[in-house]
Structure 1
């Protein structure tokens, strides 16, 4: 699954062969450039698309799921809007997974506790959710993960095992931090883009078009727009006879340390 190592090994092997050949005959300079560009494109693509599992094993769906089961996940809370999301979930008797930011938990500890009290699963979504997360050192990423874990444990009594990197970004430094802290990386295969798309109808259609058994839907519990779309998604899933389950149940993975 560590595809980055495979691609890098392949590129280095080709590079060595080209260097050897260059002593025997002329090798065009742009061959070297093409090789480098291939490695660069693969690295950038792998860093930005969590579904590839390019640097570390990621869980983005359950391809072996035979029943119509699907998971709803929410990023970036807790937030005042989380309470409306919780009300909608309770109304439809649905359990979701919330990937929470450490600073947000500190701001809204009561809302965080309510998520747990209503039977939803909690995951770690870093402490700061910084726009610079992708260039953090391994030490800094580790600090962010462990700090948030501590906050969660103090309020819930549980040690979380699920981690979702901000923006779904991974790289060798983030991968090492995750391996060191022994977390499962949880991604998605149905991204709503509810923080980007303005029209609720377009968000809904995007999600509906990607719904499949074993899927993981990514939403955010930070806006009224997303809460409104959630209600419509739940109605759609019910009409299609889907059962909504937490990520740990869908993937058969432990969400918390025993």
Structure 2
């Protein structure tokens, strides 16, 4: 290759490089992942490493494609590796407990998806819900030797006044997601193919948005992550976006800074 052609090729690569790679951020996207079937857990971790992207993980003890649960001891190496990479972690309730409705006296009707009371509607006090949030932190510490950040995400993102008050009284800040940050990985792939979800995310995400996806969804025929995550991160980088955990988010950083992470 002639020198001028080589120089042009190199210049093209430089100009094509994402602005974030050069340390110039035009905005920040906060990547978050909830546990799920864990079918895409390793792929997502590898993709984040390639992009030097940090994310926040919300953990529940959910059944996985390995026929175990996401907070079983077998998953300790996975979570330890994510801690070492500098990601952040919050509680998603141990048994993936959905709120049903508020009850008198600050109590809450809930329905766990897993555990000994799976599928049952239960009448809980705020203290019982707090204990459920803290179960994740206890198990996470046993698996990794590290503490959760004081972050909480209700399954389904569904909140009621009593539920929000219970989580706040327990010391957790609730972290939902931005409208444009709904990845759609739970939607039927026939109606929402991956290419459509990718286009929607690239067009809609803006500075400060929180993106939510899962480490695997049982019901989706075309898994979201392998088709969408890599081009999504690359496309956002090309627009000049950088990625950060919720430890740096203006709505959460003060609360998190007051708590040790390990």
TM-score range with shorter-chain normalisation?
A: 0.5 to 0.7
| Conserved 8 A contact 1:127-1:145 | yes
Q: Which has the higher helix share?
A: 1
> Which residue of structure 2 aligns with residue 142 of structure 1?
130
Q: CA deviation at 1:80?
A: 4.5
Unmatched 5+ residue regions in structure 1? 1-65
Distance 2:160 2:99 in 1: 13
> Helix, strand or coil: the match of 1:160?
coil
TM-score (norm 2): 0.67
Go from structure 1 to structure 2 and tell me whether the alpha carbon gap of 1:184 and 1:196 turns closer, same or farther (over 3 Å shift).
same
1:77-226 matches, within 5 Å, as 77=36, 79-103=38-62, 104-106=70-72, 108-131=75-98, 135-136=109-110, 137=124, 138-154=126-142, 155-189=144-178, 190-198=181-189, 199-222=193-216, 224-226=223-225
Over the aligned positions, Cα root-mean-square deviation in angstroms equals 2.2
- Between structure 1 and structure 2, the one with the greater Rg is 1
| Conserved 8 A contact 1:74-1:219 | yes
Unmatched 5+ residue regions in structure 2? 1-24, 63-69, 102-108, 111-123, 218-222
> Which residue of structure 2 aligns with residue 232 of structure 1?
231
Q: CA deviation at 1:228?
A: 2.7
